[in-house]
A = this chain, B = another copy of it.
Amino acid sequence: MNIYDIAAEAGVSISTVSRVMNHKGNVNPEMKKRIEEVLNKYDYKPSAIARGMVSKTMKTIAVLATDIRIPQFAGQVYTVEQEFSREGYNVMVCNTGENIEDCAKYINTLSQKQVDGIVAIGSIFSRLTDHPEITSKMRWSPVVMANGKIDLPNFYSVLLNEQAGMMAGIRLLAEKGRKRICLLCDLETNFGARLKAGFLNALKDLKIDGKDNQVLACKNGMEAGAQAVRRMIDGGCLFDGLIFDGEITAIGGMKALRKAGLRIPEDVAVIGWGDSISALTCQPELTTVDVKAEQMGTMCARLLYGILENRVPQGTMMIEPEIVVRGSTG
């Protein structure tokens, strides 16, 4: 069943059917009614592919993320999808994995399918800056980056103010009388590197930087967090406050602390970055720097949609994290 069949049954030309379906141009009310009846009779839906052939858009966008099983990314993908589906768009997901080169494969199929836009979620995509062979393939559509930045004309950003979040976290710990604060994060990620910078700045600003304030490399995950803490204890490191770049890592750290006989928060106060349910499932509940994944998703979606609608983007946007105080900091 196609537009010709509809036109034939209604006894009109396909042009008129097209006009009725798209509410474009003037059509005689009677004729319009007759056509709509046929349309309804067959619950006719025009082929988006044929439409796309002419209009050059399939009303589809794509979301790039390393792995949507990570709650933060799932939250962002979710809100992006909800925002766009309200506007009649569909959303493709691409779990690119951590190896940035593997993006190219997705970029190729996405460009062939002429998706209208891309949302790249996660600081890892900042690394595309070093891969012009990939970014050069991303010229055909706008790209909105959540937590990342690339200096190219069709790339836009929504960033997280890690500096402010780190400041809030350290201020909280300082209020609780903690001075020997350490940061444990994955220094090989862009996010981790920015946390480190924010950490050092915040300490300086608050004038509590001393030899006991260390930054330690720590991969993500429960076991990695536990290991890092064991290493600190074994190494005779003195600390009374710990900040982790992720919740699960922090929970792993807390387990190791408990096993070493250290009480939380009495002996060590713990903060983790994130905003998932994990902060509530652990014992004690984890104080977090809320990274506002869903707000991030919403803002990325709105920014991209605005661009698709030819509205002018208002420069780089910034999201302010917020500290959520729970048991792990007393």
User: Which residues does A use to contact B, with CB under 8 Å?
Assistant: 43, 45-50, 52-53, 58-60, 62, 67-69, 71, 74-75, 77-78, 81-82, 85, 88, 90-95, 105-106, 108-114, 137, 222, 248, 251, 277-278, 280-283
Contacts and interface: CB of A to CB of B under 8 A. Distances in A.
A52 B108 CA distance: 16
Contacts of A82: 95
B95 A92 contact: no
Closest 9 CB pairs of A and B: A283-B283, A48-B112, A48-B113, A49-B52, A281-B281, A74-B74, A45-B112, A90-B92, A281-B282
Copies of the polypeptide in the assembly: 2
Contacts of A222: 277, 280-281
Contact of A60 (B47, B78, B92, B106): B92
Contacts of A248: 277, 281
A112 B47 contact: yes
Contacts of A50: 53
Q: Main SS of chain A's interface residues?
A: helix
B92 A78 contact: no
Contacts of A282: 281-283
A161 B297 CA distance: 36
Nearest to A251: B281
Contact of A93 (B77, B114, B281): B77
A93 B109 contact: no
A58 B114 CA distance: 11
Contact of A110 (B43, B90, B108, B112): B90
A108 B43 CA distance: 10
Nearest to A133: B43
Given A47-B112, A85-B106, 19 more contacts: A45-B112, A48-B109, A49-B49, A49-B52, A53-B53, A58-B113, A62-B90, A68-B74, A68-B78, A69-B78, A77-B93, A85-B94, A85-B95, A85-B105, A90-B92, A90-B109, A248-B277, A278-B278, A278-B281
A28 to B, nearest CB: 27
A137 B277 contact: no
Contact of A137 (B43, B47, B88, B281): B43
Nearest to A112: B48
A49 B55 CA distance: 11
Contacts of A74: 68-69, 71, 74
Given A69-B74, A282-B283, A91 B92 contact: yes
Contact of A81 (B93, B112, B280): B93
A9 B74 CA distance: 46
A121 to B, nearest CB: 13
Contact of A278 (B60, B75, B137, B277): B277
A91 B81 CA distance: 13
B114 A48 contact: yes
Contacts of A92: 60, 90-93
Q: Quick one: which of A67, A71, A82 has the most chain B CB within 10 A? A: A71
Contacts of A95: 78, 81-82, 85
B81 A94 contact: yes
Contacts of A108: 45
